Amino acid sequence: MLRKVSIGILCILLVTALVLVGCSSSAPTAPNTPAPAGDKFPSRPIEGVVPYSAGSAVDNNLRALAPSLERALGGQKVMVTNKPGASAGIGCNYIAKSVKPDGYAFGLVNIASLTATATMTDVGFDPIKDIKWIGCTGCL
């Protein structure tokens, strides 16, 4: 019972995070600008980026959460994309620089990888400025 409740809470947190990321933008907009008519979120699959190989703990975590996320998103598919390499630096760089903040992609990264990349020289992104923390799927 506790496991189902925990998974439910994690899914709600992740969906909330997706909505917050989808609502965020770095482009300036006029206040009270109405949304374009007919836009329905999500209208295409959501990409979950994992900066580790398939079968890793983080990959397994996202794959376990994906069915619950899909149900919460009205049946829209959540696709897991693995971008391993350079101690998660390649995947983190992809998340920081290539993923648009439109709500259709998110990264699942453990804090150790972001800490490690912060101590490396020139990883291609700033883990403090370029990656926005939106939630936690497993906290102690």
Domain boundaries, the chain: 2-24+43-119
* Per-residue pLDDT, 120: 72
Calpha distance 131→136 (Å, rounded) = 14
Residue 33 — left, alpha, or beta (φ > 0 → left; ψ -120 to 50 → alpha)? Answer: beta
What token pair was written down for 10? 């994690």
Q: Does residue 60 carry a pLDDT above 60?
A: yes
Quick one: fold of 2-24+43-119? D-Maltodextrin-Binding Protein; domain 2 (3.40.190)
| Contact status, residue 102 vs residue 74, Cβ threshold 8 Å | no
Q: Does residue 25 carry a pLDDT above 50?
A: no
Q: Which residues, 6 or more positions from 7, have their beta carbon under 8 angstroms from its beta carbon?
A: 64, 65, 68
| Contact status, residue 74 vs residue 19, Cβ threshold 8 Å | no
Span 59-65, average pLDDT: 94
**Residue of 137 and 48 predicted with greater confidence:** 48
